[in-house]
Amino acid sequence: MKKVIITGSTGLIGRNLVKDLLKSNYKVTAIVRNKNKSKKILSSEVELVEWDFNSMDNLTDSLENAFAIIHLAGAGVFAKRWNKSYKNEIYSSRVESTKLLVEIISRLNNKPESFVVASGVGYYGNRGDEILSEDSKPGDDFLAKVCINWEREASKVQQFGVRWASIRTGIVLSTEDGALKKMLTPFNYYLGGPLGNGNQWFPWIHISDIVGIYKFVVESQNCTGPFNAAATQLVTMKEFAKILGKVLKRPSVFNVPECVLKIVLGEAASDIVSSQKINSNKITELGYGFKFPNLKEALYDLLIKQKYF
């Protein structure tokens, strides 16, 4: 059995990826902050190794002989209102932990074949109607700078003969957690609608596809560098809300203005209504086939087929 190391295993993407890896007969070792909490979330088949993300102690032996290391850990970007302290936590939980993992990998006797690290479409900042490929220039706001430095640290693993990939993830659609679950509440009360003016591009991806992309990248030796991970059907926020309303058989007419979002979320509101028109051709040209390229079918699967609503 090939061993895969994963951080951030109890998050939305992590716990779904762990399930998929176990089904594919991988041996999974999860690097966690709290073993007792993680035991309640993850399968008993998963080996748990406790790490505080600030030290190399007790981790080097666990990383030896791994086929791949997948690094998903990071403080939730929109989990709290942004202030200086929380922005530092968002940054350090990603960039500093990645730097430390690369340092540990450099010391391993038997290094992994690949180091696959999370990133986000926030790399591009707010770009209007510009079509964004992996070669597009980065943005200059806070989240863009986080992603730039995050990817830069991850890419350093290549000097040790380890393949690197960073997954620039769009808005993950799932009824377990995340943006879609939060958006359902106003629709349930017939108050649903787009965030902001609705004209911004909304780069979405079904939870099954983001899990599929991580697994595909781990298993494909020709997958190197950054990869956009957003479904191939491009929609604006207004179109997204309209299609969501149709699937739920609810109206989609109540905009939530950016000024209201700023009252609730502060600086983070600007990133929530950022526009990113994402091109995911790089991953599809290498052979990944989206299970849910169509938004209506993706929402139907999550909300109707899975009997959530």
> Where along the chain do its domains lie?
3-170+205-230+277-291
CB atoms within 10 A of CB 133: 13
Per-residue pLDDT band at 254 (split at 50, 70, 90): confident
pLDDT at position 83: 87
Among residues 205, 173, 177, 174, the alpha carbon closest in space to that of 283 is found at 205
Read off the amino acid at residue 261: L
Residue with tokens 């991970």: 229
**Alpha-carbon distance 86 to 94, whole Å?**
13
* CA-wise closest residue to 141 among 204, 195, 97, 77: 77
Residue 65, pLDDT > 90, answer yes
Which range is most confident: 75-79, 129-133, 250-254? 129-133
CA 242 from chain centre, in angstroms, equals: 24
29 forms beta bridges with 5, 47
Which percentage of the chain shows pLDDT scores above 70?
94
Inter-CA distances, 200 with 18, 134, 246, Å: 33, 19, 20
| Number of neighbouring beta carbons within 10 Å of residue 52 | 10
- Compute the CA torsion angle 46, 51, 56, 58 (nearest 10 deg): -60
Give the tens place of pLDDT for each residue, 204-251. 999 999 999 999 999 999 999 999 999 999 999 999 999 999 999 999
Output phi, psi for 195, to 5 deg: -90, 140
Instruction: Give the pLDDT band (50/70/90) at residue 268.
Output: low
**How does residue 264 score in pLDDT terms, banded at 50, 70 and 90?**
low
CATH architecture of residue range(s) 3-170+205-230+277-291: 3-Layer(aba) Sandwich (3.40)
Average pLDDT, the chain: 92
Cα–Cα distance measured from residue 14 to residue 183, given in angstroms and rounded to the nearest whole number: 22
Nearest-angstrom CA–CA distance, 265 and 135:
31
Instruction: Say if residue 286's pLDDT is above 70.
Output: yes
Angstrom distance (rounded) from CA 239 to CA 201? 9
Tokens of residue 8, six digits: 């951030």
